[in-house]
Chains A and B, each alone.
Chain A
Amino acid sequence: MMEKENTIRVNRLPAITWHTLKINDATLSVPDRFTAPTCTMEGNLASSPVEFKEIRSGSGEAFDSLLSGTAVQTYDVVSTDNAEVPVRFHFAPVSDAAEAAVLRLVAKKNENLTVITDITGEEHASLYLQILLDIDQGATVKLVQVQAMPSSSILVNAVGGTVGENGNVELVQLLLGGEKTYASSRISLSGNESKLNASLAYLGEKDSLTDLNYHAVHEGKRTESSFETYGVLRDNSRKTYRGTIDFLRGSSGSVGTEYEDVLLLGEDVRNKSIPLILCAEEDVQGAHGASIGQLDDDMLFYLGSRGIDPKTAEKLMAKAKLDTVAHRIGDEKAEEMAETTIEGQF
């Protein structure tokens, strides 16, 4: 039985705007108590206690405090020489449970680490996940996440990280199921020439809610961030996307780009987007673009001339958008899971 619930505010914009738009943050129900995650893993956890920096996630202080102040299962993973083998976590929360876990990923100097989390589970399950990345000089972390939860489930997926000089972080996330999904990321590019490359795909259907908050903080010089987001909204689904490129003073020579592509397919969908660029440095380049709407008439005409009816064309294009990100997974097993889930949705 789920415990009594309270609410906290999560996914708050780094710079807020008119309250009437109801876009500044989201309200999240949280239980009084979490249960241990139903989780299996492949790979090794850190063999000794890990010294970990204080890192904020994209969900915000309230959520971070909640997980740090509670007896939540924590998994520490540290890079090794054998970077070719990913560490895998499979989360499968059970019905009516509020499961929680913290993953702390450490990539040591000039080492690489790949972590893959797939999330399924039972109906009416909830998973509250915080993933923190500490990436040292010249190190690389690739975090792949595929969420394929049933349509009555709740996921909170809060990523935070700090990247040292010449470090890299690559996020590949596919959010393909669930009733309510709150996903976020806050990556501090603190070292010079550090890089963030984030690819996100989401599918909203029925009455689902997808609430996103992605924040790249450019602290070091010549840092680079790139966000690419592809979404498909069907039925009555709702989505809010907050994306922020944040150039702090001193981040000279940095470049940040952000692109969002949303395909609206349902009669009653609601799409909110707010792509921010915050800039306190002269010598930077920031750009964002968004394309939101239904299928292009020219594309429909072209496909029609090839004998493809509009409904089939919609499915083809929707799948193609999600596949764009699935193909960046770079792991056969995870990619197969993502492809199977996408195929099943159409």
Chain B
Amino acid sequence: MASREKTQVADIDRTIYDIRNEDKDAYRFTSGLTEEIVRKLSEEKNDPEWMRDFRLKSLEIYNSLPVPDWGPDISGLNMDNIATYVRPKNNRMQGNWEDVPEDIKNTFEHLGIPEAERKYLAGVGAQYDSELVYHNIRKEVAEQGVVYLDFESSLTSEYADMVKDHFMHLVPPTDHKFAALHGAVWSGGSFVYIPKNVDVTIPLQSYFRLNAKGAGQFEHTLIIVDEGASLHFIEGCSAPRYNVANLHAGCVELFVRKNAKLRYSTIENWSKNMYNLNTKRAIVEEGGVMEWVSGSFGSHVSYLYPMTILNGKESRMEFTGITFAGKGQNLDTGAKVVHNAPNTSSYINTKSISKDGGVGTFRSSLVINKNAPHSKASVSCESLMLDDRSRSDTIPAMDIRTKDADVGHEAQIGRISDEAVFYLMSRGISEEEARAMIVSGFADNVSKELPLEYAVEMNNLIRLEMKGSIG
């Protein structure tokens, strides 16, 4: 008799992501957050004066703001135990892959980054702990006028004024405690400028890897897509697992000009000791389009709600997200949108799966201001519970300030439908296979929005989780 695969709910195979490099060769700041450390970081980065002052002001704000009391517990995060800056000794950012240090290169090779660059990316930035180790853009894309720089270089480049005018304007340090933390200790990240009417047909990607134990990563991503231009930007994140807390408090600011289009895709697969307190925000001008595709699989705790401000008439946004919360995870994810101009539209569509004691929360905020008549918005969230040890909550807020709005909202929470399983079984499919098929189908609308290689990776992750949902 042919052996049958016993179905069981397994954790994601993290073999690839759990590669650790010894950080004996790393240059590392003392753990903690003080004015002295912030000044030292500013010196290390050769900041212009305005940036040093900005960091110090942000530190003041950080110390004055409370820890959020409305989300998952983050009492396990102690800034006294977090090193805010770690980099390989003698590190210099490289434009040639062969020049990247061997152990770091091997890590990114395992993650498939160079292969992806060769196959289907217009440019790649690879950050390892606090610094970029590699940054490159295809010649033909650069010739279109596309600017893709590591963030530090951008501060002294011909785009320095543009960077200064936009840096932390969308996400000011006063926004919340961890935005202030970012303002004080940011390091690394990318600056992207797409000139008017340039259509970048293949994606750019930044990959963030946090290798160091007990460290934080605070990269800043600033993207400006000028009038009539378009871009697909991909962000990937991972880290090996440690038994102490790591912190990610990055910041993403996206400017989508008139009739421009930006798609921002993220596959977040941090290790399960990570506090992921990331902030992402986009502002969209007239006729512009912002699309978010977001997959959250990793982290111990996540607070992640990409926000879009529809600031020009007839601008629109779409958010497609999936969150998979497993053992030891509390993932609080969702989206925010503000309609701030007439005839704007937004569509938020999310899926959430909780299993093995994981907690998944969908949290959203939809605001339609009085100056946004004839706007349309739709919020849809579906959650699937795979066992009775897990938890799934939906907390969608809507604030409508004009009568000329059309708002629809729907949410569902449930388990795998017995009727659907019965139907598939009546077609000769085993119960185990039927359940796995249903969960794969549940996430299908997200995976089909991703580039093929990422969709395959995401589906593999889900399939691994779902093998044998009846145990």
Which of B370, B395, B407, B414 touches A276 (beta carbons < 8 Å)? B395
Which of B394, B395, B405 touches A292 (beta carbons < 8 Å)? B405
Q: Verify A276–B365 contact, CB threshold 8 A.
A: no
Question: Contacts of A123 on B, CB cut-off 8 Å?
Answer: none
Question: Contacts of B402 on A, CB cut-off 8 Å?
Answer: 264
Min Cβ gap A214→B in Å is 15
Question: Contacts of B385 on A, CB cut-off 8 Å?
Answer: 279, 281-282, 284
B361-404 CB mask vs A (1 if < 8 Å, else 0) is 00101000010000000000001011110111111111111111
Q: Verify B393–A21 contact, CB threshold 8 A.
A: no
State the CA gap A277–B409 with chains docked (Å).
Answer: 13
A259-298 CB mask vs B (1 if < 8 Å, else 0) is 0000011111111111111111111111111111110000
Question: Contacts of A269 on B, CB cut-off 8 Å?
Answer: 401, 403
**Residues 198-230 of A at the B interface (beta carbon under 8 Å):** none
Q: Verify A294–B403 contact, CB threshold 8 A.
A: yes
Question: Contacts of B395 on A, CB cut-off 8 Å?
Answer: 15, 17, 274, 276
Q: Verify B398–A273 contact, CB threshold 8 A.
A: yes
Question: Contacts of A268 on B, CB cut-off 8 Å?
Answer: 370
| Residue ID in chain B nearest A288 by CB atoms | B411
Q: Verify B365–A271 contact, CB threshold 8 A.
A: no
| Residue ID in chain B nearest A20 by CB atoms | B365
Q: Verify A17–B398 contact, CB threshold 8 A.
A: no
Min Cβ gap A28→B in Å is 21
* Count of chain A residues near B, Cβ 8 A: 43
| A4 CB within 8 Å of chain B | no
State the CA gap A267–B408 with chains docked (Å).
Answer: 20
| Residue ID in chain B nearest A13 by CB atoms | B395
Q: Verify A270–B399 contact, CB threshold 8 A.
A: yes
| A315 CB within 8 Å of chain B | no
| A194 CB within 8 Å of chain B | no
Q: Verify A277–B391 contact, CB threshold 8 A.
A: no
Interface of chain B: mostly helix, strand, loop or mixed: strand
| A333 CB within 8 Å of chain B | no
State the CA gap A275–B363 with chains docked (Å).
Answer: 11
State the CA gap A281–B401 with chains docked (Å).
Answer: 36
Min Cβ gap B27→A in Å is 38
Which of A265, A271, A278 touches B400 (beta carbons < 8 Å)? A271
Question: Contacts of B404 on A, CB cut-off 8 Å?
Answer: 294
Tell me whether A19 and B400 are in contact in the complex, defined as CB-CB below 8 angstroms, given that A277-B394, A279-B383, A286-B412 are known contacts: no
Q: Verify A275–B388 contact, CB threshold 8 A.
A: no
Q: Verify A272–B397 contact, CB threshold 8 A.
A: yes
| Residue ID in chain A nearest B405 by CB atoms | A293
| B73 CB within 8 Å of chain A | no
| A18 CB within 8 Å of chain B | yes
Interface residues on B, range: 35 or more
State the CA gap A290–B409 with chains docked (Å).
Answer: 5
Which of A17, A266, A283, A291 touches B403 (beta carbons < 8 Å)? A266
**Residues 276-335 of A at the B interface (beta carbon under 8 Å):** 276-294
| Residue ID in chain B nearest A257 by CB atoms | B412
State the CA gap A276–B70 with chains docked (Å).
Answer: 14
Q: Verify B407–A292 contact, CB threshold 8 A.
A: yes
| B420 CB within 8 Å of chain A | no
Question: Contacts of A287 on B, CB cut-off 8 Å?
Answer: 410-413
Question: Contacts of A1 on B, CB cut-off 8 Å?
Answer: none
Q: Verify A275–B396 contact, CB threshold 8 A.
A: yes
| Residue ID in chain A nearest B413 by CB atoms | A286
Q: Verify A279–B411 contact, CB threshold 8 A.
A: no
| Residue ID in chain A nearest B380 by CB atoms | A289
| B406 CB within 8 Å of chain A | yes
- Quick one: which of B363, B392, B398 has the most chain A CB within 10 A? B398
B49-79 CB mask vs A (1 if < 8 Å, else 0) is 0000000000000000000011000000000
| A249 CB within 8 Å of chain B | yes
Min Cβ gap B460→A in Å is 25
Tell me whether A290 and B398 are in contact in the complex, defined as CB-CB below 8 angstroms, given that A15-B393, A282-B386 are known contacts: yes
| A23 CB within 8 Å of chain B | yes
| Residue ID in chain B nearest A19 by CB atoms | B70
| A252 CB within 8 Å of chain B | yes
State the CA gap A19–B397 with chains docked (Å).
Answer: 11
Question: Contacts of A233 on B, CB cut-off 8 Å?
Answer: 403
Which of B393, B397, B398, B406 touches A277 (beta carbons < 8 Å)? B393
Question: Contacts of A247 on B, CB cut-off 8 Å?
Answer: 413
Q: Verify A249–B405 contact, CB threshold 8 A.
A: no
Question: Contacts of B411 on A, CB cut-off 8 Å?
Answer: 275, 277, 286-289
Min Cβ gap A17→B in Å is 5
State the CA gap A274–B398 with chains docked (Å).
Answer: 6
| Residue ID in chain A nearest B305 by CB atoms | A18
State the CA gap A16–B414 with chains docked (Å).
Answer: 22
**Residues 394-445 of B at the A interface (beta carbon under 8 Å):** 394-415
State the CA gap A294–B406 with chains docked (Å).
Answer: 7
Tell me whether A292 and B413 are in contact in the complex, defined as CB-CB below 8 angstroms, given that A15-B393, A280-B391, A283-B388 are known contacts: no
Q: Verify A279–B393 contact, CB threshold 8 A.
A: yes
Tell me whether A265 and B403 are in contact in the complex, defined as CB-CB below 8 angstroms, given that A15-B395, A273-B398 are known contacts: yes
State the CA gap A262–B401 with chains docked (Å).
Answer: 13
Tell me whether A276 and B393 are in contact in the complex, defined as CB-CB below 8 angstroms, given that A249-B388, A293-B405 are known contacts: yes
Question: Contacts of B413 on A, CB cut-off 8 Å?
Answer: 247, 277, 279, 284-287
Min Cβ gap B329→A in Å is 16
Q: Verify B397–A21 contact, CB threshold 8 A.
A: yes
Top 4 A-B residue pairs of the complex, sorted by shortest distance between their CB atoms: A264-B403, A290-B409, A292-B407, A286-B413
Could you jot down 21 A-B contacts, CB within 8 Å? Answer: A16-B70, A17-B70, A18-B70, A18-B365, A18-B397, A252-B388, A264-B403, A267-B403, A269-B401, A270-B400, A271-B400, A271-B401, A272-B399, A272-B400, A276-B393, A276-B394, A282-B386, A282-B390, A289-B408, A290-B410, A292-B407
Q: A-contacting residues of B (Cβ < 8 Å)?
A: 69-70, 363, 365, 370, 383, 385-388, 390-415
Known A-B contacts: A17-B363, A249-B388, A268-B370. Give 16 more (CB < 8 A): A233-B403, A267-B403, A270-B401, A272-B399, A273-B397, A275-B409, A276-B393, A277-B413, A279-B383, A279-B385, A281-B385, A284-B414, A285-B412, A286-B411, A288-B409, A292-B409
